[in-house]
Copies of this chain bind each other. A is one copy, B any other.
Amino acid sequence: MEMTAAKLAELVKGDVVGDASVRIHTYAKIEEAGQGALTFLANPKYEHFVYNTNASAVLVRRDFMPEKDVKATLIKVDDPYATLADLLNLVSSSLVPEKKGVENPVFVADGVELPDDVYVGSFSYIGSGAVIGKNVKIYPQCYVGDNVVIKDNTTLYAGVKVYYGCEIGCNCVIHSGAVIGADGFGFAPKNGEYEKISQIGRVVVEDCVEIGANTTIDRATMGATVVRRGVKLDNLIQVAHNVEIGENTVIAAQTGIAGSTKIGRHNMIGGQVGFAGHITIGDGNKFGAQAGVHSNPGNDKTVIGYPAIDARQFMRQSAYLKRLGDLFDSVKELKKEVDELKNIKQNSL
């Protein structure tokens, strides 16, 4: 796949500034790109790279005006990142060979029907009563428990485990090592030991959800742990029993959500955040990395810290903390001065 900048610009409805005849055959990050590579500039923080890049062409915003000479050909588009995304999808489908068919050996329980266009990789296990949708891809070494439902166009990468009775929607992507439907962490104290509370609920993952590598989503005690449409979960995230995550909420790696907590829609949650159990979180909030969230900030708020507070308040607190030594000194100084004043007073009486 090689084309000129002119041809590419035509494809993405962009305008060429510079040599329209340069030939492009690969993609690379702006700071690493070499000849023949296309790259992009979206974040102004990286603008300086545009002047030194060895890329042959750079996707830039329509309003981008270089301050210095640019060697590379510029292709001006409305949204360089979105344009790149579209191109990457195109390239990706050419890079990754389309998997189809059943690679033996696999275990498929009696009575399970596999659509013609399905992929089931070697050493995968599909339990009794499982329902597998059209164009589903189950890479090697996956475990699909009894009565699991996996809907159309969903991909399970190698080694995903889905416990019995859980349901995965359409167009989902689940990465290696993710565990869906393990028992919630429920125990009742009894005679100084703990007795297991059977977890008879399940996990429901709606459509268009992505679940990262080694992320764990526990089944509900009763009812369902629910991950709503469009949610994106990064790697190594913990979603406890009976949690509900609202539509299009995005969560970065290593965050944990304790039992029965409900997260609203369109939240953006940083990495290593912790949510206490049994709380309800509004919509459209941003949670800074490593925040410890014990209550609902409301809607459209930005919080950070432990316990999580308004981000501006946190910044002020951090600034105050830095000056805390000075404050102790000031108070000590004041004390001395007040003592002196009192002394003089005393003496003048």
Interface of A with B (CB < 8 Å)? Answer: 27-29, 32, 39, 43, 45, 81-82, 84-85, 88-89, 91-92, 95-97, 103, 105, 107, 121-123, 125, 128, 139-141, 143, 145-146, 157-159, 161, 163-165, 173, 175-177, 179, 182-183, 185, 187-188, 190, 192-200, 208, 210, 212-214, 216, 218, 220-223, 230, 232, 234-236, 238, 240, 242, 248, 250, 252-254, 256, 258, 266, 271-272, 274, 276, 278, 289-290, 292, 305-307, 316-318, 320-325, 327-328, 330-331, 334-335, 337-338, 341-342, 344-345
Q: Are B179 and A213 in contact (CB under 8 A)?
A: yes
Tell me which of B84, B212, B218, B278 contacts A45 (CB under 8 A). Answer: B278
Q: Please list 17 pairs of residues, one from A and one from B, whose beta carbons are closer than 8 Å in the complex, sorted by A's number.
A: A81-B188, A82-B195, A107-B140, A141-B143, A143-B176, A158-B161, A175-B179, A175-B182, A185-B252, A240-B253, A254-B254, A256-B272, A271-B274, A274-B290, A317-B324, A327-B331, A338-B338
Contacts known (A163-B157, A223-B28, A330-B331); A107 close to B82, Cβ less than 8 A: no
If A161-B176, A177-B214, A193-B208 touch, whether A27 touches B222 (CB-CB below 8 Å) is yes
Q: Which of B185, B235, B305 contacts A232 (CB 8 A)?
A: B185
Tell me the number of copies of this protein: 3
Q: Which of B81, B176, B342 contacts A163 (CB 8 A)?
A: B176
Per the bound structure, the CA–CA distance linking A190 and B81 in Å amounts to 11
Give which listed residue, B88, B258, B271, contacts A256 with CB less than 8 A.
B271
Q: Which of A84, A85, A187, A200 has the most CB of B within 10 A?
A: A200
Please judge, given known A-B contacts A157-B182, A248-B194, whether A216 and B214 are in contact too, CB under 8 Å. yes
Q: How far is the CA of A300 from the CA of B85 in the complex (A)?
A: 39
Cβ–Cβ < 8 Å partners of A161 in chain B: 141, 157-159, 176-177, 213
Choose among B28, B198, B212, B317 the residue that contacts A85 (Cβ–Cβ < 8 A).
Answer: B198
Expressed in whole angstroms, the Cα–Cα distance for A96 and B163 within the complex equals 11
Chain B residues with Cβ below 8 Å from A88 are 197-200, 221-222
B contact residues around A81 at 8 Å (CB): 188, 197
A179 proximity list for chain B (CB < 8 A): 159, 175-177, 213-214, 235
Residue of A91, A338, A342 with highest tally of chain B CB at under 10 A: A338
Q: Which of B188, B236, B248, B250 contacts A238 (CB 8 A)?
A: B236
Q: A173-B183, A248-B193, A328-B327 are in contact. Are A92 and B254 (CB under 8 A)?
A: no
